[in-house]
A and B are shown apart, each in its own frame.
Chain A
Amino acid sequence: MTGSGKGARRRLRATVPLGAYAALVCVFLLSPLVIAVALSFSSGEQLAFPPPGFSLRWYREALATEQFLTGVWVSTVIALATGAVSALGGTGAAIAINHFRFRGRALVQSFVLLPLSIPGVVVGLGILFALGMLGMKSGIAAAIAGHSVLGVPYVTYLVLATLSNYDLTLEQASLNLGAGRWLTFRRITLPLIAPGILAGAICAFLISFDNVALSIFLTRGDTLPLRLMQHIQFYANPGVAAVSSLLVAASLVVMLVLGRILRRRQIVGLAG
């Protein structure tokens, strides 16, 4: 009795400081987000904190700022296309790597996943140099292609993870029962790996939407992150904070959706 009491006390002695420390780290992690949101309701002109008063003027201002609106539009188009291209390319690559044994398979796998470990600035500068050879100019198409270089490996990685607890005999059974290859793919393979594809496409969307390292080389400075950067450098007023809070809200929604999809993946894994 006394022994367990002493143990509990020792446990408490160890955990209370550590717990306080962990809380401090959480404050460090979350404070810039909280502050950015808080400042968006400021009535002042400056980045001063605490703000002088409460108002919604910066939301009105942000929603009337042409550069932000076109930025959201351009970034959304690029990110949606990147998500789609990455889902297509990544799913195909994952199936090729997982379902087939062919010469050069290991090399192909490392090549497809390689962009994940190469700095974005290096890839961006390289694509900028190569655009002329490819008969392209900087702009939305170049940005979609560039962002997809980062998106394809992400989707490949996530679909490969989904496929790792996936039973190939299910496909064999479907083929043996007379379903064709296409029907088998559509009715067996695709539904089982769909959560991986969707999670990968959402990741590719987020990477693209937030990308700076490639966009500075490949666009005309008109994506939302670049517009926000310019705005911060030239005006430094709470208008950015209003856009920021809207982005934080959107991110939380995406996170909720992503969490739900990833949890479903586990359920699929158990069922398969």
Chain B
Amino acid sequence: MAAGARFARAVRRAGPWLWLLPAMTVLVPFFLLPVAVLLRNSVYRDDPGALIVPDFVATNYLRIITDPYYADVFVNTLMVAFGVSFAALMIGYPFAYYLVRWAGRSRPFLLWAVYTPLIVSVIVRVFGWMVITADSGLINTALLSMGVIERPVRLLYEVAGMVIGLTHRYLPLMVLPLVNSMAKIDRALLAASVGLGAGAARTQLYVVLPLSIPGAVAGFQLVFAGVLSDFVLPNLMGTTRFRMLAPTIYDEAVANLSWATSAAMAIVMLLLVVAMLVCTNLALRRFAPWARTL
């Protein structure tokens, strides 16, 4: 009897771990272990003969930060990440505002237009942009035939084309959190603001804007992290004269077999994402303390 009760208790205590077993079978060997190996490789040493040799050195980190070839990659990528996040916020904010407050019957269509690109393969989206921005593509054909330009404007395989593609890829991830935060705003608050004598503009500035900050921050985090680690857009629409982080990591690891260097770069990429998340969350808590109560 006592043994039976003990057995039952053991089963109850093992319960959650039994339920977790399938997830852990995937996540421990293919997530926890790889990240640990990545950290380890980042302090090992690249060797022309033996691929990678055990060591404990900071030279990989020092090199990717001080060598202009690698430092440029980080500077380029951070600039593009900030630029695209800012562009997505500027484009997405009025759109989300219209969608939530004014759209009425067209709202389902607008939401559909935001979701559809997310579900369609990214290669398809990039391909569409290549056709639009190519030298003989839609934009250049139109501008040439209208006589605005005399020779094609080079967009594809330049920073401009890549930024257009990146903005398109990540805009939905900015719009959706914004829509979410704006839809949560209580209409009674707006009525109260107007009732107390604030005009439409003041209500917008002092009620709607602060309450939509959490959505803007969430959108910024998604877009920034996405652009920082994007492989497809720089690879298909960008230029090798303006190198970006993810393709460079891939080249180092697979083409050059510099496992230690690429590991250090990947760890720095991870740290940049973590630093961005920590900073934005701290800023949110400091400047929009109401975020957590929403």
Q: Which residue numbers of A lie inside 8 Å of B, CB to CB? A: 14-15, 18-19, 21-22, 25-26, 28-36, 39, 46-50, 85, 88-90, 92-93, 95-97, 99-100, 102, 105, 108, 111-112, 114-115, 117-123, 125-130, 133-134, 145-146, 148-149, 152, 156, 206, 209-210, 212-213, 216-217, 225, 228-229, 232-233, 236, 240-241, 244, 247-248, 251-252, 254-255, 258
**Interfacial chain B residues near A225, Cβ < 8 Å:** 121-123
Stretch at the interface among B13-21, B67-75, B176-184: B13-21
B137 touches A48 (CB 8 A): yes
Set A19, A115, A122, A255: member contacting B38, Cβ < 8 A: A122
Assess whether B99 is in contact with A31, with CB atoms less than 8 Å apart.
no
Known contacts A22-B110, A127-B30: A206-B172 contact under CB 8 Å: no
Q: Is B212 an interface residue (CB 8 A)?
A: no
The reply to whether A125 and B98 form a contact with Cβ atoms under 8 Å apart is: no
Nearest opposing residue in chain A for B38, CB measure: A126
Number of A-B pairs, beta carbon distance below 8 Å? 272
- Contact of A126 with B34 at beta-carbon distance under 8 Å, contacts A35-B131, A36-B127, A48-B136 already known: yes
The answer to the question of B262 belonging to the interface, with a C-beta cut-off of 8 Å to chain A, is yes
A14 to B103, CA, bound (A): 12
Q: A25-B95, A31-B132, A47-B134 are in contact. Are A128 and B253 (CB under 8 A)?
A: yes
Cβ of B26: which chain A residues have Cβ within 8 Å of it? 85, 89, 145, 148-149, 152
Residues in chain B near residue A34, CB distance under 8 A: 128
A19:B128 contact, CB within 8 angstroms: no
Task: List residues of chain A with CB within 8 A of the CB of B270.
Answer: 118-119, 122
Once the chains bind, are A251 and B120 in contact (CB under 8 Å)?
A: yes
Residue pair B35, A126 in contact (C-beta under 8 Å) = yes
Residue contact B27 to A111, C-beta cutoff 8 Å? yes
A108's nearest neighbour on chain B, judged by CB, is B20
5 closest residue pairs by CB, A with B: A32-B128, A126-B34, A119-B229, A96-B19, A89-B23
CA distance A149 to B30 in the complex (A): 7
User: In this assembly, does B232 line the interface, its C-beta being within 8 Å of a C-beta of chain A?
Assistant: yes
Task: Give the Cβ gap from A91 to chain B, nearest Cβ, in Å.
Answer: 8
Given A112-B27, A118-B273, decide whether A252 and B33 contact each other with a Cβ distance below 8 A.
no
